[in-house]
Amino acid sequence: MTVSVRPVSPADAAQWQHLYAGYRAFYRLPDDPASVRTTWGWVSEGAHGLLGLVAEDADGRLVGLADLRRFARPSSATTGLYLDDLFTAPDARHRGVATALLREAAAIAAAEGASVVRWITAADNAGARAVYDRVATATPWVTYDMRPAEA
């Protein structure tokens, strides 16, 4: 499959939201159209430092998305790109879509002088991890989440 990767545009709203709803379903998140619309607003407007990428097939259909954001790395006095979301349409998997999106993320990081592209994934996401292991190095770091303190 030949895909081209580009930044999101306003015309992508419906297709992007459909893909993002699929991403949420994959991770067993509740069906929440309001959250999908909010996230589209952030991505399409570049809010919170977000940069949205889409992979488009030869027919103009969106077959993948990647949402990145910039972050400071105080320990190295550099910046990085954090990959929040990466999703390939189920019927387009195993055709290089995710790899194309990751390569574009790496190219953007290089152009911006970033020192890393970083992301997390579920330990049992074997399909994605097979791709990630080809293009990146797993780290020894363990991720934690803490709830905000109650007021």
Say how many C-beta atoms besides its own lie within 10 A of residue 136's C-beta: 15
Q: Express each pLDDT in 10-22 by its tens digit.
A: 999 999 999 999 9
- Which tokens sit at 145? 């989440």
In terms of C-beta density within 10 A (0-12 exposed, 13-18 middle, 19 or more buried), how is residue 26 classed?
Answer: middle
| Backbone angles phi and psi of 4, in degrees to 5 | -120, 145
What is the torsional sign of CA 81, 103, 83, 76? negative
Strand partners, 88: 64
**Up-side HSE of residue 62: CA atoms within 13 Å toward CB?**
23
Instruction: Please say if the pLDDT value at position 151 is more than 80.
Output: no
Residue 1 has a pLDDT of: 79
Instruction: Please say if the pLDDT value at position 42 is more than 80.
Output: yes
Residue 86 has a pLDDT of: 97
Q: What percent of the chain has pLDDT over 90?
A: 96
Q: Express each pLDDT in 87-142 by its tens digit.
A: 999 999 999 999 999 999 999 999 999 999 999 999 999 999 999 999 999 999 99
User: Does residue 7 contact residue 14 with C-beta atoms inside 8 Å?
Assistant: no
Residue 150 has a pLDDT of: 84
